[in-house]
Amino acid sequence: MPASAARATLTGMKILATLLSVGLWLLAGLFVLSAKHPDAVASGKVLPRLVVAGLLGLGGLVLLIMAFRSGKSAEAGPSPGSVQGQEASGPLAARAIVCPNCGAKADAEAVKIGKDGVMTVTCPYCQAAFFLQEEPKW
Ligand SMILES: [Zn+2]
């Protein structure tokens, strides 16, 4: 299944991001410790080291947030079993023809014009054929 493979990759990314951010935080902790070192205090390197520590900590935090945000958006996406095309928005939604049988949106490609000029639509989801009774909106 490609979807589960993608999800597994995503989980791997999350673990990797978590490990990386933990590594960054450990590094930040080392910089904080080194900032407190008497040598650093004597040579006036306390502030630069604290700044570096802060940046490393911030970097780790951003990494973690980004990893988990991308995970959330991917999980909110359409599941493999869901009907595709239902979430069409904007211009596509305005041209949509709704199937009276199942309520699915049939696209313009499903419309066929017969010899007598009557437009028939075959629902791509439930295969029900129906006539277009009113003027399409496109
Ligand atoms: Zn239908």
Ligand 1 mean position to 33 CA, how many Å?
67
Q: How far is the CA of 105 from the centre of ligand 1 (A)?
A: 8
Structure confidence at residue 30 (pLDDT): 93
What is the rounded distance in angstroms from the CA atom of residue 16 to the CA atom of residue 11?
9
* pLDDT at residue 92, as a whole number: 45
- Both 6 and 68 in one domain: the answer is yes
8 is a domain residue = yes
Identify whether residues 121 and 96 lie together within a single domain.
yes
pLDDT for 56 equals: 95
15 and 67 belong to one structural domain? yes
Residue 82 Cα to ligand 1 midpoint, Å, equals: 15
Domain that holds residue 23: 2-76
Q: Which residues surround the ion ligand 1 when the cut-off is CB under 5 Å?
A: 99, 101-102, 104, 123, 125-126, 128
pLDDT at 114: 81
pLDDT of residue 32: 92
- Residue 73 CA to ligand 1 center (angstroms) comes to 29
Q: What is the Rg, in whole angstroms, of the alpha carbon atoms belonging to the chain?
A: 28
User: What's the 76 CA to ligand 1 centre distance in angstroms?
Assistant: 25
Q: Report the run of H or E that residue 79 belongs to, with start and end.
A: none
Give the pLDDT of residue 82: 46
Using alpha carbons, select from 136, 124, 129 the residue that is nearest to residue 96: 136
Q: Is residue 48 part of a domain?
A: yes
- C-alpha angle with apex 10: 6 to 16, nearest 5 degrees? 140
Number of folded domains in the chain? 2
| Residues 96, 71 share a domain | no
Return per-residue pLDDT of the chain as tens, 138 residues: 566 777 778 788 888 899 999 999 999 999 999 888 888 888 888 999 999 999 999 999 999 888 888 765 555 555 555 444 445 444 544 456 788 889 888 877 888 888 888 888 888 889 998 887 655 555
Do 48 and 102 fall within a single domain? no
pLDDT for the residue numbered 93: 42
How far away, in angstroms, is 132 Cα from ligand 1 center?
A: 13
